[in-house]
Amino acid sequence: MSAAFGLHFGSTSACLAVYKDGKTDVVANDAGDRTTPAVVAYTDHDQTVGLAAKQGIVRNATNTICHVKQVIGKSYKQHEKENSTSGSYAKVINKEDKILYEVDYKEKTLHVSPEEVATKIYKKMMETATSHGDGDIHDCVLTAPRDFSSQQRQILSDCATKAGFNILRVINEPTAALLAYDIGQLDIEEYCNTVVYRLGGVSLDVTVVTCCNGMFRLLSTVTHADIGGDSFNDAIIEYFCGEFKRQWKEDIRGSKRSISKLKVAAERCKHTLSTLPESQCHVDSLYDGIDFNGKISRARFEGLCSGLVQRCLNPLETALKEAGLQKNEINKVILTGGAAKTPVLQSQLQNYFPGAELLNSTPPDEVIAVGAAKQAAILTGNENHESKQNEQETEVECIVSPIQIKLMTDDTATYSTIFPAMMPVPGRRQRKIQLGPQQTSCVLEVFEQRDEENRILIGKVVLRDLPVQSEVLAVFHARREGSIHITCTEKTSGKHADILIEVE
């Protein structure tokens, strides 16, 4: 059976997950890692992609290209404006307002376009895919950040098709995160608001998504391009430089090489700190021959980046405001992105959303790929042209205000919502209501809550001379054109009554 792949191409690393025979798992690449660094390096005899390229960054910085995703599809002016030059070391040149990297490869200067780099990385992922899957056609779902324009998404899918994938669809990263945890897929009546908190290598974005009737709606997104995992590395580097200065009275911030060496060691430290309380950092001949041995505990690390963590939480405020939800209305928080592993961040988030359930069972940097794989599984079922058509038709009509029914619990009226607000039509809900001991007749009152306080009665269903201890099954069916059809039946006596509420 042809396997269904989900491919997440982040700015720092790429991850591939496969859905096969009912299970989804991440495919490890030839080096055995579950994520491949999205780095391409040009040396004088060959091009390397992935971990090898990243390891060569210390010596071969000028010919190494990373963070290519930030540049995909952007014009030079746009890139300059955002001056997101934090990542890539390779020289960026401008050719008719298009961005090109200038690297020397085999003693020749070579102009490489971001698209080519992306294709190379996709090809690397293709190798991982072929090594795993036995099928020859590789159906694949790509993910893209929400603010990616359709043109950028087209570029991504072109590069992937060039690499050999058969692209089914390009979905948003937050949606993939939700799919990974099967939110809204199991129980159609599930209604929950989720916050997807993504702290990637170079960028942080917070998205609020509501899931109703099995469909997702992205309410708001806030992105900060200047904060990411790297900023945590920088904090550690600062600390180690201070240490070095204290021990050897040498300020190593000036020399680029030692900084990049320290950077690699710092990153390793950070990873170990996510799991262990303390981690060693050893760099030999860090600065004119002196070896450096540093130690950092988690407490100190948290102390160092308390400011950073605070900055990470700011966007939550704005996102919630934009979505028009309160903190307590959020049911779930999903952590994605490599840097979201840091425990301090997770604890902070938990405090911030006391009522919400923090989902981090799947490793944060693989969540999006897993979600994409599940989506691919769904799509491999039907024909290609259909799924392509569905992708465009994302317009859905919804019931505006919630529909509730009045229930009496020991003579206090409570209103239980049948259809939540903005529920896509058509939809169907059922309620089984047990009648009182002597009750022989019942009335079902249906209300529509237009806004906070006024709730208007829109319909009543009455059943009379029911047998004792009877059970009434109420079926609410929201039709496509908007009208709601409510039927109440009593199984034993076969009595039933129904009303049809029109739409304005």
Per CB under 8 A, which of residues 358..387 are in contact with another protein?
Answer: 375, 377-379, 381-382, 386-387
Q: Biggest alpha carbon distance in the chain?
A: 96
Q: Candidates 297, 397, 468, 493: give the one binding another protein (CB under 8 A).
A: 397
What's the closest the beta carbon of residue 136 comes to another protein, in angstroms?
A: 18
Cβ atoms of residues 267 and 260 within 8 Å: no
The answer to whether 248 and 226 have CB atoms below 8 angstroms apart is no
Please name the helix (run of DSSP H) or strand (run of DSSP E) that holds residue 254, with its range, or none. none
Bridge-partner residues for 33, per DSSP? none
Residue of 166, 223, 314, 401 interacting with another protein (CB under 8 A)? 401
- Which residues, 6 or more positions from 254, have their beta carbon under 8 angstroms from its beta carbon? none
Tokens of 23: 């299970």
Would you count residue 325 as binding another protein (CB under 8 A)? Answer: no
* Residue 187 is a binding residue for another protein (CB under 8 A): yes
Show contacts with another protein in window 10-29 (CB under 8 A): 22-23
Asked if 468 touches another protein (CB under 8 A), the answer is: no
String of DSSP letters for 54-102: HHTTTTSGGGEEE-GGGTTT-BHHHHHHHT--SS--SEEEEETTEEEEE
Given the complex with another protein, which of 90 and 330 has the nearer CB atom?
A: 330
Task: Select 384 or 492, whichever has its Cβ closest to another protein.
Answer: 492
403 binds another protein (CB under 8 A): yes
454 near another protein (CB under 8 A): no
The secondary structure element, H or E, covering residue 180 is: helix 173-180
Q: Is 147 in the site for another protein (CB under 8 A)?
A: no
Q: Binding to another protein by residue 274, rule CB under 8 A?
A: no
C-alpha closest to that of 122 among 76, 175, 58, 166: 166
Minimum CB separation of residue 13 from another protein in Å reads 22
User: With contact defined as beta carbons under 8 Å apart, do 338 and 35 qualify?
Assistant: yes
CA distance 165 to 142: 10
- Residue 430 interacts with another protein (CB under 8 A): yes or no: yes
Check binding of 128 to another protein (CB under 8 A).
no
**198-257: which residues touch another protein (CB under 8 A)?**
209, 213-218
Q: Distance between CA atoms of 17 and 27, rounded to whole angstroms? A: 5
Task: Considering the complex, state which of residue 94 and residue 441 has its C-beta at the smaller distance from another protein.
Answer: 441
| By the rule CB under 8 A, 442 interacts with another protein | yes
Binding of another protein by 88 (CB under 8 A): no
Tokens of 156: 């991504």
The continuous run of DSSP H or E covering 420 comes out as: none
* Binder of another protein out of 55, 157, 166, 185 (CB under 8 A): 185
Which listed residue (96, 136, 186, 249) binds another protein by CB under 8 A? 186
Q: Which of 163, 296, 425, 490 binds another protein (CB under 8 A)?
A: 425
Q: Is 150 in the site for another protein (CB under 8 A)?
A: no
Contacts of another protein in 155-184 (CB under 8 A):
169, 171-172, 175-176, 178-179, 182, 184
Q: Please tell me the distance from the alpha carbon of residue 499 to that of residue 431, in angstroms, as a whole number.
A: 16
Nearer to another protein, 79 or 429 (CB): 429
Residue 395 in contact with another protein, rule: CB under 8 A = yes
* Burial of residue 242, with CB atoms counted within 10 A of its CB: 0-12 exposed, 13-18 middle, 19 or more buried: exposed
What is the size of the binding site for another protein (CB under 8 A)?
98
Joined tokens for residue 100: 């090109």
Q: Which two tokens stand for residue 69?
A: 């995703």
Query: CA neighbours within 13 Å on the CB side: how many for 306?
Result: 4
Q: Does 473 bind another protein (CB under 8 A)?
A: yes
**By CB under 8 A, what part of segment 292-311 binds another protein?**
none
- Kindly indicate which of the ranges 86-94, 152-160, 309-317, 427-435 contains the residues binding another protein, using the contact rule CB under 8 A: 427-435
Q: Which two tokens stand for residue 159?
A: 């590069």
